[in-house]
Amino acid sequence: MKTSIALGLILAAAAGCGSSGSSPDGGGAGHGGTLGDGGAGSCTAVQPAGAKMSWVDDGTFQCALVIVTGRMTSSSQDFLEIIGSTSSGVGAGITVAASPGPLSGSYHCKNDGGAASGLFVDFVYTAPQAGQIQDCTITIDNPGTPGTANARGSFSGTFTTTGGATKQITQGTFDTPVMLNGG
């Protein structure tokens, strides 16, 4: 529920974040790229400036123009959530929480999560007919620290669309400042 509300707020903010000459995937006006041009390395967000999050949606490059990254750490838990939205309102939200932490390495939506494991892994995707998540992989190279280190890693996912087809999200990468911190 928290992820859905936050993703909705970002999508609403991003709807007004286009610039003249921008394409629906965030390309043009210096904010995007094309499939095969290096992914997040050539895709920068408007907010926060210089942050990077991109992915390929069934062969179509997507670039997040607005990204919110939060991390909460305590002696018993490490929580990271990254939510990005394109200028066309397509959004991706990834969440990994481990008890105990720290977060590092690869996590899977279907086979790692569950209360017994002390791990929660989720990938929410908002696009026309995005449907239900079937599985995902989220790799955290660095969970980040506010003011010092960006959260960096990669993600991918497989969804079943509302029409019953398979949707593949591939080549997802993020390199973004941690803006919210708690714990």
- Over residues 89-131, the pLDDT tens digits come to 999 999 999 988 899 999 998 766 565 678 899 999 998 888 8
Domain limits for position 58: 2-182
Where do we find the tokens 């079943």? 160
Cα gap 3→166, rounded to integer Å: 23
pLDDT of residue 183: 57
Higher pLDDT: 145 or 1? It is 145
Averaged confidence pLDDT in the chain: 79
pLDDT reading at 28 higher than 70: no
Q: What is the pLDDT of residue 95?
A: 95
Average pLDDT over residues 18-45: 45
Q: Supply the pLDDT for residue 149.
A: 94
Dihedral class, residue 132 (left if φ above 0, else alpha if ψ from -120 to 50, else beta) = beta
Q: Which amino acid is at 50?
A: G
The whole model's pTM is what? Answer: 0.78
Q: What is the DSSP letter of 131?
A: -
How many Å from the N-terminal Cα to the C-terminal Cα in the chain?
20
Task: Report how many domains make up the chain.
Answer: 1
Helix or strand run (H / E) with residue 180: strand 180-182
Query: Which two structure tokens, joined as six digits, stand for 166?
Result: 């398979």
Q: Which three-class secondary structure state does DSSP give residue 116?
A: helix
CB 25 within 8 A of CB 115: no
Among 141, 147, 142, 150, residue whose Cα is nearest residue 175: 150
CB atoms within 10 A of CB 159: 23
% of residues, the chain, pLDDT over 70 = 72
* pLDDT at 29 exceeding the cut of 50: no
Residue 1 predicted with pLDDT over 70: no
- State percent of the chain over pLDDT 90: 56
